Amino acid sequence: MAVSRKACLLLILVCFIAGFSEGFAAPAYALPDHGYNYSYWNEAEPAPYPYAAEKHIYGADLGIGHFKEPQDVFVGEDRRIYIADTGNNRIVCLDERGNLIRVIDGFRQGDGMDTFNKPYGVYVDANGIIYVADTYNNRIVKLTGEGEWLAEYDKPESSIIPKDFQFFPLKLNVDKANRIYVVAQGAYEGIMELDASGGFKGYVGTNKVRFSPADLLWKRLSTKEQAEKMELFLPIEFSNLDVDDRGFIYAVSSEVNTNEPIKRFNPSGEDILRREGYFPPMGDVSVIRVDAAAAGDAAVQLLNEGSSRFIDVISEESGMYSGLDSTRNRIFTYDRDGNLLYQFGGIGTRSNNFQKPVAIEMIGDRMAVIDNEMNRLTIFAPTRYGTLIRDAVKAHYNGMSEEAAEAWNGVLQLNANFDIAYIGMGKALLKQDRNKLAMDYFKNGNNRKYYSEAFKRYRKELVWDNFGTIMTVLLSGAAVAIAARIYWVRRRPNVYFVDTGVVKAPFHTMFRPFAGFWELKYEGKGRVGIALLILFMLVGTMIMKRQFAGFIVNFNKPNELNSVDELAFIVLPFLLFCVANWSLTTLMDGEGKFREIVMAAGYALLPLVVLYVPQILFSTMITREEAPFYYLIESVAYIWFLWLLFIGMMTVHQYSILKTVVTMFLTVVVMIFIVFLGILCFSLLQQMAAFVISLFTEIRARA
């Protein structure tokens, strides 16, 4: 009896501990340990998940029967949730926690009852007035918050609407002036705008017509009967829209292979969406391999190739907006500049995935997602990672730099690979006038626009604070240079910078190419060793340029820099040019020997070496607005090199101008031909080696 009493007490204690700890447990739906975000190099970097499924809502759990192919969800200002339960021809109203308030499956109109027929969209204004896109009844129905009929709007009438147009409203939104914006099936001209009484006012925005040149040519060449049977060149319809608190319209179209699937229209219909991120707001930018084992599955899943296809968009506070991708069932959230903040979701039946999501809506910082195939509403809550990102964006938007810096710092502690966090941290530091530190963060975030602004401020501070020292150094340097020049001239009066000797012949050739190349060929003042020295100096200079050029103009990926590549991309083309030119000019009565071609080509490279060194130094002192001067120096170097190469080839071969031009062109052709033969020979050798290996393997297996 005592033993059983102790066992009962122990069992009660265990149950109490389990029940107590349940309230402090992690979210009910376990997440994979990482998601992904894109870096500046368009590479998917691991990232924590920003949102976790908080609650699933099914119609059966509400006591109203299963949802059937729901198509839309909307959250009013009072945070009530409205679901367009399309297959059941009803509107379901829930409170913020997902509890049932009412079901609107019919309404009294006049003396009788009326019902919906496949309602695809729902919207509720600030006064609680409900607008329903009653799609297959070809109308928009306006109801009170309790579901009482107020008005309905049938097919609008206008001379610019095609006569055979059938009004199938799919999605709708209403602005503060009670203008109704409708996405309708077959409305290729854009989003339909109606006034408060349902009168047609025009179209807002449009998608460009896309077609291939081959299709256009074929249609031009076809007869009238053939052209009528061909597919029409029509713009893509919009699939959904949202109006932000400033009256601008966000719209998405399900068109693929475009950099502008999301648009933001001003009142005149002009797309003003900012696209200042590493890549436009377009969802996935490359094919992603996701380790599904980390998510609890047994295999590695390869996501489908192709662009994302957005079917819904929702604007948020602080300029943020989110798009729903139906290709991979993911939700992508961007800031007002078009930077990708985070993504979540995915294909699957797990708690945080979807089978066929069709609509999204914000409930404060939480997000509601309707899944058309699973017939459920999922409410997502932000994780600590997602909360920090959202807090940082809001703080920066509201000008609270210290709060933004603190939030971005928290983000970086959770995800050190998040470039946008570095940029956000830099912006916060920039507002605090901590320009030098802001430069470091912008550099880590690969943002040259804001780095340039921070550098401009820092340079101004540096010059202003050290103006006396800088002027003293400059004047002292100038005085030393003048004194050295005077001393050199007095000690060596007959020595000039441009000397016709062997060592200074390359510099003489730079400034007096006709005389220099003549002396190189006929007076023996050229040396193959010096030409090769210039070549390898250029290799070293290019390595320095790629590694040490200023951040504003240096777009090289640090971990992909390879000095051997520079050696290959400079030395091999140089040798290939010399061989191709010698082979060609031997058949075209050229007088140049191979060593003379090598010397002429090598000496012609000297301007690149001479100008690249100051160019590298200059690149570390310029802003983005001053970068054209950097590229001007590079253009001058290339033009100078080509000019010297042209004169060198003309002089050593004793060609006319026209013949030199033809020879240079044919030299490039011969270079391409040699490369082609090399690739062909390498391929044949590779196949022969594979054949020998397979033959050896077969003989060994049979032995």
Q: Provide the residue type at 398 as one letter.
A: N
pLDDT tens digit string along 344-364? Answer: 999 988 889 999 999 999 999
pLDDT in the model for residue 499: 45
pLDDT in the model for residue 296: 39
Does position 22 have pLDDT exceeding 60, yes or no? Answer: no
The confidence band for 538, taking pLDDT boundaries of 50, 70 and 90, is: very high
pLDDT tens digit string along 479-498? Answer: 887 887 777 666 655 544 44
pLDDT tens digit string along 198-213? Answer: 999 999 987 665 555 5
Beta strands in 372-460 (DSSP E): 376-382
Cβ contacts of 465 within 8 Å, gap of 6 or more = none
Give the mean model confidence (pLDDT) for residues 599-612: 94
Which residue did the predictor score with more confidence, 218 or 272? 272
Least confident of 437-451, 464-478, 488-502, 528-542: 488-502
Report long-range pairs for 577-586 (Cβ below 8 Å, ≥24 apart): 577/601, 577/667, 577/671, 579/674, 580/667, 580/668, 580/670, 580/671, 580/674, 581/649, 581/663, 581/667, 581/670, 583/670, 584/663, 584/666, 584/667, 584/670, 585/653, 585/663
Does position 678 have pLDDT exceeding 80, yes or no? Answer: yes
**DSSP reduced 3-state for 209:** coil
Half-sphere exposure for 358 (CA within 13 Å, toward CB): 24
Whether 78 and 363 have beta carbons less than 8 Å apart is answered as no
Inter-CA distances, 212 with 218, 308, 368, Å: 10, 21, 39
Sorted by where each starts, the structural domains of the chain and their CATH numbers stand as: 47-382 (2.120.10.30), 384-482 (1.25.40.10), 496-672 (no CATH)
Does position 470 have pLDDT exceeding 90, yes or no? Answer: no
**Cα–Cα distance for residue pair 366/314, rounded to 1 Å:** 13
pLDDT in the model for residue 582: 93
**Cα–Cα distance for residue pair 390/322, rounded to 1 Å:** 12
pLDDT tens digit string along 620-638? Answer: 999 999 999 999 999 999 9
Q: Calculate what percentage of the chain has a pLDDT beyond 90.
A: 57
pLDDT in the model for residue 210: 57
Give the mean model confidence (pLDDT) for residues 273-280: 89
The confidence band for 217, taking pLDDT boundaries of 50, 70 and 90, is: low
Half-sphere exposure for 479 (CA within 13 Å, toward CB): 6
Residue 230 DSSP one-character state:
S
**Cα–Cα distance for residue pair 603/651, rounded to 1 Å:** 13
* Cross-strand partners of 191: 204
Reading the block at residue 508, the tokens are 């003489």
Does position 673 have pLDDT exceeding 70, yes or no? Answer: yes
Give the mean model confidence (pLDDT) for residues 217-230: 55
Between CA 192 and CA 197, with CA 193 as vertex, the angle to 5 degrees is 125
Which residue did the predictor score with more confidence, 341 or 32? 341
Which residue did the predictor score with more confidence, 469 or 569? 569
Look over the chain and give the mean of its residue pLDDT values, rounded to a whole number.
85
The confidence band for 435, taking pLDDT boundaries of 50, 70 and 90, is: very high
Cα Rg, the chain, nearest whole Å = 35
